[in-house]
Amino acid sequence: MTTRYLLNRLLLALPTLFGVVTVVFILLRVVPGDPIAMMTGPGATPEDIQHLRAHYGLDRSLSAQFVIYLGQLAMGDLGTSISLRQDVGELILGRLPVTLELTVFAMLIAIGCGVCLAIVGSYWRSRWPEAIIDSVIGIIVAIPDFLWALAFILILGVVIPVMPIFGRLDLALEYQSYTEFYLIESALRGRFDVTGSVLWHMILPGVALALPLMAVGARVLKSSLNVEMTQDYAALAHTKGFSRLQVILKEALRNALIPAVTLTGVQLTFLIGGTVLIERIFGYPGLGNMAIDAVINRDLPLIQGIIITFAIIFILVNFLIDLINTILNPRLRDG
């Protein structure tokens, strides 16, 4: 039953993906701005412009363009970037590992710190540690991630310059990567100087990205824990002699995680979206940074490719959340 449920979820993702492709395709063609006009610059003749328009298939009807695009997509061909004149698929594959590493790093920080904060808050419920945690969460939620990024740059990059504020790797280090997964690859190759530098460069953008997710996750998990701690099974555990911390960790946490995991899944998509600005601010060479350049240059194939990639990631994340929920909640497993 579980396999069938998950398979259904996967199949449902296909129309979602088709919807995304359709909406993105139409939207990008109705918003103002002509990519060929951006491409040609001063001096190009109308013939030059027409020649390029034909070259990129932009002289055909919208429906014809869409059919061709779907056909290419089905073959795994995302087209050629107008501004970079390279295969979109290759460009995305080159940047995706950068964004994925940063996102996973931020997610680990968010989940680790969020769970700790929730447990501490629930353990000292209605006492000053919980009040402090609530206030901190309130402040974090109120400030968007890019403002945290700018504050970190100002404080830890300029006023007390102890942290790197640009890029992915110390520029004094030379490293030839084969997979673009610098962190894992360098560790496996024994280049711990690179691993350390990559981690060091990830801290500020990673924390800036993680903070909102951490705060929301902690708030939901703490509330959920507080509810679970009032349940009969928690009271029973107390009467059996378990300490409050033991009840939280061994009994309540598993049940409390279900709503927190669901919400974290939703927030995670925001976290991935947040990479666009954060990567830009920290000069991080990921997919988000490339997305902004693509938009500025009206590079339609590249914008489409990036959005579809993000959409696939969102779908996979949601699928993963469903999977985790299925494992955590027996009713879903058996239903």
Partner 1 sequence: MKIDRRSFLQYSGAVSAASSLPAILMSPGALGASGDTLTIAYNVSLPNWDPTVGLSSVNPGLQSIWKSVFDQYIDQHPDLTFKAGVLTKWGWNSDKTKVHMTVRDGATWQDGQPITGEDIVWNLKRAGHPDTGNPVGGFIWASLGNLSANGNEVTGDVNQYTPDIFKWMSFLTGYILPPHYHDKVGAEGFEKNPLGSGPYKVKEFVRGSFVRLEAYDDYWGGKPAFKNVIFKFVTDVSSRIAEIESGSSDITLAVPFEEYDRLSQKSGLTGVTTPVSDIAMIFFNDVGPMEDPNVRKAAVHAVDKEAIVKRLLRGYGVPLSTLQAPEYTAYDSSIVVDHNPELAKELLAKSGYSTDNPVKFTIQTTRGYLPKDYEVIQAVVGMWRKVGIEAEIEVYEVAKHYELRAQDTLAPAAFYNWGNSIGDPGTSTGHAMFGPSPHSTWDTDDLDGMIGPLWGEKDEDKRIAGWKKVDRYIAENAYVLPLYQQVQPVLYKSDLAFTSHGANYVLPFTTRPKG
Residues of this chain that interact with partner 1 (CB under 8 A) are 32-35, 37-49, 51, 82-86, 94-95, 150, 153-154, 157-158, 161-162, 164-168, 170-174, 192-193, 196-197, 199-201, 280-286, 289-290, 292-293, 297-298
Toward partner 1, which CB reaches closer, 11 or 159? 159
Toward partner 1, which CB reaches closer, 12 or 90? 90
Q: How many CB atoms lie within 10 A of CB 141?
A: 15
The amino acid that residue 323 corresponds to is L
Long-range contacts from 82-88, C-beta under 8 angstroms, 24+ separation: 82/35, 82/39, 82/56, 82/297, 82/298, 82/299, 82/300, 82/301, 82/302, 83/38, 83/39, 83/293, 83/294, 83/297, 83/299, 83/302, 84/299, 84/302, 88/301, 88/302, 88/304, 88/305
Toward partner 1, which CB reaches closer, 156 or 323? 156
* Tokens at 311, concatenated: 């959409």
Place of tokens 């530098």: 197
Q: How far is the CB of 4 from partner 1 (least distance, A)?
A: 43
Phi, psi of 245 (to 5 degrees): -65, -40
Q: How far is the CB of 330 from partner 1 (least distance, A)?
A: 38
Eight-state DSSP code of residue 19: H
Toward partner 1, which CB reaches closer, 167 or 273? 167
Q: How far is the CB of 250 from partner 1 (least distance, A)?
A: 26
Q: Which is it for the CA torsion 289, 294, 295, 296, positive or negative?
A: positive
Q: How far is the CB of 161 from partner 1 (least distance, A)?
A: 4
Q: How far is the CB of 46 from partner 1 (least distance, A)?
A: 6
Toward partner 1, which CB reaches closer, 87 or 134? 87
Phi, psi of 80 (to 5 degrees): -115, 135
Q: How far is the CB of 255 from partner 1 (least distance, A)?
A: 36
Toward partner 1, which CB reaches closer, 25 or 152? 152
Report the alpha-carbon angle 249-252-255, nearest 5: 120
Q: How far is the CB of 71 from partner 1 (least distance, A)?
A: 24
| Pair 261, 254: CB distance under 8 Å | no
Toward partner 1, which CB reaches closer, 273 or 285? 285
State the Cα–Cα distance between residues 6 and 307, nearest whole angstrom. 24
Q: How far is the CB of 38 from partner 1 (least distance, A)?
A: 5
Toward partner 1, which CB reaches closer, 14 or 171? 171
How far lies 236's CA from each of 226, 241, 254, in Å? 16, 9, 16
Toward partner 1, which CB reaches closer, 89 or 157? 157
In sequence order, the 6+-apart residues with CB closer than 8 A to the CB of 192 are 186
Q: How far is the CB of 300 from partner 1 (least distance, A)?
A: 11
